[in-house]
């Protein structure tokens, strides 16, 4: 028995008198299938923001509540950091795991369609991040990166940020 849903893989298993149908989400099958048409995907990708993302807003609210004041997306600095603390000479980047190829499971997802393009694009992002971090360090700025997956543990992120920024 096979039922075709674009979002799941099915496995039918028979044991004695009991039969089971296992529905396994495709995300856990080791590959990523694009269920959208190219036009739908283009529209979706055009709505992805580079500033004021949800993880960034969480970090901003947390720091503001603790009394820290900062500037946003300063274009005069290399890489236009998400949060800039001018008096402390410190900057914070809030990076998405997929786009900046983090070592977590979200950053290691490889798109099945047009994979050569995405590999080239994501590796260019990683090299640009390293280059901009080195440029900021050479200018005397301390740099910290908060990853999207770390936002799940807000206490840990808050401890790291407070330790990085000082009181």
Q: Which residues pair with 52 in a beta bridge?
A: none
* 82 Cβ contact list (under 8 Å, min separation 6): 51, 56, 59, 72, 73, 91, 92, 93, 94
- pLDDT tens, N- to C-terminus, the chain (167 residues): 444 555 455 444 555 545 555 555 544 544 556 787 888 877 877 766 667 789 999 999 999 999 999 999 999 999 999 999 999 999 999 999 988 999 999 888 888 888 888 899 999 999 999 999 999 999 999 999 999 999 999 999 999 999 999 97
Closest CA to 149 of 110, 96, 81: 96
Q: Which domains does the chain have, with CATH numbers?
A: 49-165 (3.40.960.10)
Q: Do residues 74 and 80 lie in contact, with contact meaning Cβ atoms separated by under 8 Å?
A: yes
Phi, psi of 153 (to 5 degrees): -110, 85
Residue 20 is predicted with a pLDDT of 52
Residue 145 is predicted with a pLDDT of 96
Q: Render the burial of 12-43: b for 16+ CB within 10 Å, e for the rest.
A: eeeeeeeeeeeeeeeeeeeeeeeeeeeeeeee
Give me 107's structure tokens. Answer: 């950053």
Closest CA to 148 of 74, 96, 78, 73: 96
Residue 31 is predicted with a pLDDT of 52
Residue 161 is predicted with a pLDDT of 96
State the sign of the Cα–Cα–Cα–Cα dihedral 80, 160, 102, 43.
negative
Phi, psi of 166 (to 5 degrees): 75, 175
CA R_g for the chain: 21
């Amino acid at each position: 028995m096979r039922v075709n849903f674009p979002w799941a893989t099915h496995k039918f298993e028979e044991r004695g008198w009991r039969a089971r149908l296992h529905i396994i989400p495709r995300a856990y099958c080791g590959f990523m299938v694009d269920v959208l048409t190219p036009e739908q995907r283009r529209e979706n990708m055009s709505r992805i923001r580079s500033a004021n993302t949800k993880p960034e807003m969480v970090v901003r609210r947390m720091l503001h509540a603790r009394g820290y004041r900062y500037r946003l997306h300063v274009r005069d600095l290399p890489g236009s950091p998400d949060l800039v603390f001018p008096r402390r000479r410190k900057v914070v980047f809030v990076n998405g795991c997929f786009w900046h190829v983090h070592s977590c499971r979200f950053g290691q997802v490889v798109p099945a369609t047009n994979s050569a393009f995405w590999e080239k694009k994501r590796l260019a992002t990683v090299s640009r991040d390293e280059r901009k971090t080195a440029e900021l360090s050479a200018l005397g700025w301390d740099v910290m990166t908060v990853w999207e997956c770390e936002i799940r543990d807000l206490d840990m992120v808050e401890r790291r940020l407070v330790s990085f920024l000082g009181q």
